[in-house]
Structure formats: structure tokens, C-alpha cells
Amino acid sequence: MQIESIAIENFRVFKNTKLDHLPRLITLVGANGTGKSTLFDVFSFLKDALTQNVSRAVLKRGGFNELVSRGTTGPIKITLKFRESGGRLATYELTINKNSKGMPIVAREILKYRRGQRGKPWHFVDFSNGTGYAIINENRYGDVDAKAERQQYVLDAPDILAIKGLGQFKEFQTVAEFRSLIENWHISDFHINDARQSNDVGYAEHLSTQGDNVAQVAYYLFFSHQEVFNKIIETMARRVPGVTKIEAKPTEDGRLILRFQDGAFQDPFIARFVSDGTIKMFAYLVLLNDPKPFPLLAIEEPENQLFPELLPELAEEFREYARRGGQVFISTHSPDFLNVVKLNEIYFLKKVAGFTQVIRASDSALFNDLIQAGDVPGALWMQGLFGELK
């Protein structure tokens, strides 16, 4: 699946914001406080609302009154347009409001596909306040003469997403696919110190959002996906001069540590003595070479702790991940990173009257002319020209 557009209403700094024509690699730039982290929190909010419930997702962020845009009473609305595995354009609309007791509820939830260019869309899911219907003959979708067969359902509570319950059943394939998409989003909250720590012996198939299980994932890849592990080592040796070998080593007291071999030294370095950049690059390569890629990655400021010359290399690793089918959102302040992304992959966030607007750089005739004349996006960013985008 690929998200093609995101529309957000009344979610903190996003009073009425839309990101359209989204490619597989999206780079977000803007001054501090313009909403880059908030956009990633929209992804986290949807995932929390699905895996837990809407009330917990809202309370985790300080409550409805703290989450809703200043000066408004709501509702909060998030709309995603995406291509499902069959290539059809789908729309998911989620509207969150408060009930009479002030508790967050799902005021409306819709998952729909349009039948061709002019066909009336089928609402595979349409729920309000905990009740609604789902289409039970989705196998007929696409038939010219097919009519939707609907069945009513009542959820356990009005703060539960319908896609959470219905997505567990095979007969709702469309709903299940969308539920799986959100459940497998990876919104990175990487911390260097967590990645340095030793872990209990065992394995993990996927890198956690904090990166604290990188040794366990390396252990798993070494024994279960040797070719992937070898590719990571080869890439590290190519991208980070000096690193010739990496191993996940069990200790006598039942812990697992990472050891990095530098060709200039006889003994390997334990992870806690290796540079921040080396650890971070290794963790990113473990994430980007996952045998089962996440459908969406959201990573904030990958340039932190990395040598500037590594950023173009890392950007290419992100692009390769996107080519394999994942969709990658990156926020950055780095001109080195911007220099190797395409103009239509750059989205500029700025505050206007206290709320965020998002502008795609390739929509600017000036920027297109400057790039054609030989300028690079990073130079335009350093010159402050992004602030002139309208």
C-alpha cells in the first residue's frame, strides 16, 4: 500500500492541512515548531487508536482539549487516501469528537473505494458512535451490476475503531488489509543510549521504535537470514571506513552484546565504546534491510550523530527501501540530505497565523527553474529561499 494524500483537521498545529501527491520517499523540512514531529504523531495516534482505543490515544496526548487545535472545539478529522494491493484508490476517514461526558469517541469512521472514475463508492465500513455497517460481499466489488450487501454491527464501546474488530475476520479482506497496514507502521523514536545496552539472550525479528533491541535483531538476522546480515556488514564496511566485522555475542551471564571490529585494531569494540554515528548507521541498516519491510517508516532528523558525508549514502539506503515497497517519511534540517532528494519529494512546513501549512517544493516554478539551472535543494534551504514558498 502507498499513501497518496493526508488531510488533517483540528489536530494541534494542523487546523486544515493537506499533503498531496505523496511519493514513496517524502522529506519534510521546516523551522522548529512548524509541525514535523506533529505529523509523525498523527501516524502514532492512528496506530495507538487502533492497537488500544481512541480514548487512550487521546489521553496519552493530554486529553481532547490539549489535542484539538487552539481556538477550536473540534472535531478532529484525519483522512488518508491510499492505493491498496490491488491498485484501487481507497479513502479512510476518521472523525474524533467528545460525547456528553467529555470522553473521546469515534464520531464517524469510513473506509471506501470508488468504482472506476464515475462509479459510486462502496463504503466497506461506515460507523458512528459505536454502531454501523460493513459490506459482506466485497468479492463482488468491481462487478458492474453488483449491489453492496450490508450488515449491521455494534461495537463494544464508541471509542473502538471498527477496523480493529472487523479486520480480524477473513471475510472482511479489505478491512483486514488496511488494519494490517496501520499496525505495521514504524514511527522511529531512536535513542543511541538504548541501542548501546546489552540485552537478554534471545532474538527479535524487527527493530523496536527505540532501537533498544538492535543486538537481538542482529542475532536473529545472523542465524536466520545470513545473506541479509552479510549485506549489512558489507554496506557498513563501504559506508563507514574501518568497520570490518560486527557480531552479536552471547555472554556467560545470559546477555547479548554487539562487538564491532575495526581493521586498525586487534580487539573488537563493544557497542558502548563505539561512536554514536557507527551505532546509528548500523541500526538504520538493520531497520532498512528487514526481510519483511514495514509499509511505512517515519524517521526524525537522521542526521543527528552522523558524519555529514554519510548522509547522501543514508539517503540512498532510504530510497532503496522505498523501491522495495515501503513508504518513507523523513524530517530533516540537513542540506547534505536535501541535496540528494528530488524536488517532488520535498515538502516544506511553515506557520501561518499560528497554524501549519504544507507546500510541495516542486509546485514552485521558481524552484524548478533554479534546479534546472544547476542549484541543489540543500543550497536553496541554506539561502533561506524555502521561506518564500507559497
Tens of pLDDT, residue by residue over 48-66, are: 999 999 999 999 999 999 9
Domain 187-341 class? alpha beta
pLDDT at 104: 96
Judge contact between 176 and 164, C-beta under 8 A.
no
Per-residue pLDDT, averaged over 310-323, amounts to 90
| CA-to-CA separations, 131 to 74, 100, 107, 125, 161, in angstroms, rounded | 21, 17, 10, 11, 10
CB atoms within 10 A of CB 245: 13
Q: Is the pLDDT of residue 118 over 60?
A: no
Q: How far is CA 106 from the centre of its chain?
A: 23
In the chain, ranges of CATH 3.40.50.300 domains: 187-341
pLDDT at 387: 86
State the burial class of residue 161 (Cβ atoms within 10 Å of its Cβ: 0-12, 13-18, 19+): buried
pLDDT at 116: 56
pLDDT at 237: 77
Residue 121 is given by DSSP the state P
Q: Dihedral of the CA atoms 28, 34, 39, 40 (nearest 10)?
A: 70
Per-residue pLDDT, averaged over 100-124, amounts to 82
Per-residue pLDDT, averaged over 26-49, amounts to 96
Which tens digits make up the pLDDT trace of 349-368?
999 999 999 999 999 999 99
pLDDT at 92: 95
Q: Which fold has domain 2-21+64-182?
A: Rossmann fold (3.40.50)
Helix (H, G, I), strand (E, B) or coil at 381: helix
More confident residue, 253 or 124: 124
For the chain, percent helix, then strand, then coil, each to nearest 5? 35, 30, 35
CB atoms within 10 A of CB 309: 9
Rounded distance between C-alpha atoms, residue 212 and residue 279, angstroms: 11
Longest dimension (CA), the chain: 73
Q: In the structure, what pLDDT confidence band is assigned to residue 308 with cuts at 50, 70 and 90?
A: confident
Rounded distance between C-alpha atoms, residue 277 and residue 99, angstroms: 48
pLDDT at 290: 93
Rounded distance between C-alpha atoms, residue 225 and residue 215, angstroms: 15
Report phi then psi at 377, rounded to 5: -55, -40
Judge contact between 58 and 75, C-beta under 8 A.
no
Q: Is the pLDDT of residue 43 over 90?
A: yes
Rounded distance between C-alpha atoms, residue 219 and residue 288, angstroms: 16
pLDDT at 309: 82
Which tens digits make up the pLDDT trace of 150-204?
889 999 999 999 999 887 776 777 788 888 889 999 999 887 777 666 666 678 8
Helix (H, G, I), strand (E, B) or coil at 113: strand
